Amino acid sequence: MNLALSTDKILARVEDGVGWITINQPERRNAMSLAMWQGLGEAAEALQAEPAVRVVVLHGAGGLSFAAGADISEFEQHRANAEQKRLYGETASRAHRGLARLDKPLIAMVQGFCIGGGLALALAADLRFAAEGSRFGIPAARLGLGYEYEGLAALARVVGPSAAKDLLFSARQIEADEALRLGLVNHLLPPEELETAVRAYAARVAANAPLTVQAAKAAVRLFERYSAADDSAVAAAVDRCFDSADYQEGRRAFMEKRNPVFEGR
């Protein structure tokens, strides 16, 4: 059963108790546009409301990228300063809230690039299955933009504070085997075996007692709330990034395919 969404760049279907969400912009490495954030929120809400769905799988189309972050080509129009970032963030937040509110297990099936906002989506999942050769990273420091507290807290919970700071400060990309060692992914498989393994695991979860699975997810979610805090100081620092000359330079350098020159202002 296919679900109707506001964009064909996000696809959603239900198949044998499993909800499938496909990030469908392979020509741009599945970079997330504003319309795609809207569609992702719709998909998450629809699958949460569908009683036949026992588990949800999130993946990228094309086999080369899970999601290469936000579509930076849109930033001049939709995310050029802190106020536009706030409006853009409201739409993206609906998608993240939709994924966070799923009381059914969420599996990220990662193949290829899982970068920036794409990594944040993978971290919203309960489990991450990755194909060998996949790459992970957060390039915010190469663009001059700020990365929201919630996403950074999710990363730090999974890999630990020191490894999280390494990824953020260096803006480097890591290979799938390092991601496995850090605990960023749960299972690493050859590309040709990835979907088969995810389907088998999802079917196993779907066959289990759904109330027990939901209770387990709720309990772990409660445990994770230890990192909840007043993030107003972080939010203000993020806004300063988005209103900075460095952020303008980062966007221009990205579009011009050159190294940025940052001045800290």
According to DSSP, residue 101 is labeled: T
86-102 mean pLDDT: 86
Q: Which contiguous run of DSSP H or E holds residue 108?
A: strand 106-110
Rounded Cα gap, residues 106 and 100, in angstroms: 9
Percent of the chain residues topping a pLDDT of 70: 94
Rounded to 5, what percent of the chain is helix, strand, coil? 55, 15, 30
Q: Which contiguous run of DSSP H or E holds residue 113?
A: strand 113-115
At 199 the three-state DSSP class reads helix
The DSSP code sequence of 42-71 is HHHHHHHH-TT-SEEEEEETTSSEEE-SB-
Give the residue, 29 or 231, on which the prediction is more confident: 29
Give the residue, 64 or 231, on which the prediction is more confident: 64
Residue 198 is predicted with a pLDDT of: 98
Of the listed ranges 74-88, 162-176, 185-199, the one predicted with least confidence: 74-88
Q: Residues with Cβ < 8 Å from 128, sequence gap 6 or more?
A: 107, 108, 110, 122, 184, 185, 186, 187
For residue 40, which phi and psi values (nearest 5 degrees)? -65, -40
Q: Whole-number mean pLDDT of the chain?
A: 89
At 87 the three-state DSSP class reads helix
Banded model confidence at residue 204, pLDDT cuts 50, 70, 90: very high
Residue 232 is predicted with a pLDDT of: 72
CA 43, distance to chain mean position in Å, is 14
Residue 248 is predicted with a pLDDT of: 78
* pLDDT tens column, 169-196: 999 999 999 999 999 999 999 999 999 9
Pair of tokens at residue 5 = 């969404």
**Assigned CATH for 1-190+210-265:** 3.90.226.10
Name the pairing type of β-strands 10-15 and 18-23: antiparallel
Residue 81 is predicted with a pLDDT of: 72
Does the pLDDT of residue 141 top 60, yes or no? yes
Residue 240 is predicted with a pLDDT of: 80
Domain boundaries along the sequence of the chain: 1-190+210-265
